[in-house]
Amino acid sequence: MERMPFDGTAFGPRELLVTGIPSAVYHDGGALEFGPDGMLYAGTGDATDGPLAQDPASLAGKILRMTPDGRPPGDNPFPGSLVFSLGHRNVQGLAFDSRDRLWASEYGANAWDELNLVQPGGNHGWPQVEGRGGDGEFVQPAAQWPVEEASPSGIAIVDDVIHMAALRGERLWQIPISGEGVGEPVATLEDAHGRLRTPEPAPDGSLWVTTSNRDGRGEPAAGDDRILRVALS
């Protein structure tokens, strides 16, 4: 993991922050989000080696929490480690709600994609469990979808509604946060713009959403790829 200063016109020298994150052709995660605590959170994938997600000594299949300089904070759940949570297959999106709680979207394998309310030090189950299960041994997803309806990418939270972009599902899911869980998910933009990659709150109160139809898996239309502006009621 690297960082580069930006002065408004150009990037400065690259600075290496974190090494040792396993990588592969697939399942590399990559979501980044600064939390309200000033710490940087990073989602990683299992690098196609599922057991690494359960190995606390590996940075694969984890959500990491670090200082802006890439160091483990003293109050992380595993002393001296960047690991914040484990048991993840491929974390795609990270966002914080109004209660400063961290939510994450995650690619499943063949059955279930997940939306997780992340627990510090929590084990979210992969590869022993995909979706809900485990008889209480693991943190349960707040919501799950068949992979053909989601294959989620980024998430954004506006007024405690989670907006989750779906690649294979070709829709934008809106999921209201309700207490310790979520309400009924509602699909929007369904089959209207192809694969959706990243939602981001815009300064005017709308939502920017990027399409991802030129990634080798979509069917590009004229003008793809695009940034969509979605009005929020």
Q: Which residues are catalytic?
A: 27
Peptide bond into 146 cis (omega under 30): no
Which helix (H) or strand (E) segment holds residue 210: the answer is strand 207-211
Of residues 40, 122, 42, 48, the one with CA closest to residue 87: 122
8-state DSSP, 221: P
Q: Report whether 167 contacts 152 (CB < 8 A).
A: yes
Q: Phi/psi at 181 (nearest 5 deg)?
A: -140, -150
Phi-psi domain of 133 (left: phi exceeds 0; alpha: psi -120 through 50; beta: other): left
